[in-house]
Amino acid sequence: MTESSMFPAPAAFSYPGHGPKARIGVAICHGFTGSPHSILPWAEHLAAEGFAVSVPLLPGHGTHWRDLARQNWHDWYRGFETAYLDLAARTSDCYVAGLSMGGTIALRTAARHTVAGVAAVNPGLSFYDRRVRIVGLLKYFQRTTPPLQEENSTASATDDGDYSVTPLAAVHQLSRLFSATLRQLPAVRCPVLVFKSDTDAVVPPSSLELLRRRLGSRDLSVVRLPGSGHVATLDVDAPLLFEESARFFLQHARSTTPPAATSENP
């Protein structure tokens, strides 16, 4: 038995949609060292509303940290891109969404494909730890590092496999993904909705500032999540996130009539 088989991978999530909203697809990407578990309530909410939803499991995730060390950022991106293209082929309007690194991958997808819009939760484009600048060298002397954890987080726990340590080789790949996505942000022309937690200890505020400066689209909206940490999809502001994202998807879809305008979230 391999280490990976000791931790069965969390299942991907897929729903074909129902009613008029079945023509609207939403492909959602989980974050670094995470799995579909971290965004499952979001996916299930959208599915209950009638949207067609796809949540893939990225390569190297949901099993063991050694599996993550064997993958590169192109593998992660292609894993999500394949799910997006499949869903887009079956829907009239297809959005991309994601949490943390998943938001980064969603933005890169929007730069490379004609998506209906992007909904990103605490998307990463920069790091708090400046040592990441030398992680390409450091990985040869230090194989792993303790995972970054938030203190006093109210997000519910998930079983994403054994990621008790984080391989520095994977952190290096994450850094390369951020850099590649930053270069392509001017090509994103669709509407973008960002949810930003006030107490996010994982993704620094500089990520949002970089997004504001480099995004090609002029249609950028930011919704504050005052009570949530980084994994906001499992935290106290999750209902707000679910409702606002569903409204965003309906508002910008060509295949349905937009809902009545509502007041902005402060």
What pLDDT digit, counting tens, does each position of 148-193 carry?
665 555 555 566 767 788 788 888 899 899 999 999 999 999 999 9
- How much is the pLDDT for 118? 98
* The predicted structure's pLDDT at residue 2: 32
pLDDT, position 161 = 66
Beta carbons of 195 and 28 less than 8 angstroms apart? no
Cite the beta strand spans of the chain per DSSP E.
13-15, 24-29, 52-55, 93-99, 118-121, 144-145, 166-167, 192-197, 220-225
Residues (pLDDT < 70) of the chain are 1-10, 130-132, 134-141, 143-146, 148-159, 161, 255-266
- Residue 254 has a pLDDT of 78
According to the model, what pLDDT value does residue 128 have?
Answer: 78
CA–CA dist 13, 53 (Å, integer): 8
Task: Note the pLDDT of residue 262.
Answer: 36
Q: Is residue 126 annotated as a catalytic residue, yes or no? A: no
- Tell me, yes or no, if 200 is annotated catalytic: yes
DSSP 19: G
230 is catalytic: yes
In the chain, the domains with their CATH numbers are 14-252 (3.40.50.1820)
160, 200, 235, 237: the active-site residue: 200
The amino acid present at 91, given as its one-letter code, is T
Strands (E), 70-219: 93-99, 118-121, 144-145, 166-167, 192-197
Specify the pTM. Answer: 0.88
What is the residue-averaged pLDDT of the chain? Answer: 86
Query: Would you state the pLDDT for residue 9?
Result: 59
Q: What is the Cα 221 distance to its own chain's centre? A: 17
Amino acid at 120: A
Write down the catalytic residue from 37, 61, 172, 230. 230
Question: Which two structure tokens, joined as six digits, stand for 8?
Answer: 């069965």
Q: Provide the pLDDT for residue 165.
A: 81
The C-alpha atoms of residue 212 and residue 206 are separated, in whole angstroms, by: 10
| Whole-number pLDDT of residue 16 | 96
Q: Which two tokens stand for residue 104?
A: 């980064």
| CB-CB contact of 43 with 53 (8 Å) | yes
pLDDT at 260: 41
Select which of 54, 100, 197, 245 is catalytic: 100
| 8 A C-beta contact, residue 242 and residue 45 | yes
- Which pLDDT belongs to residue 136? 54
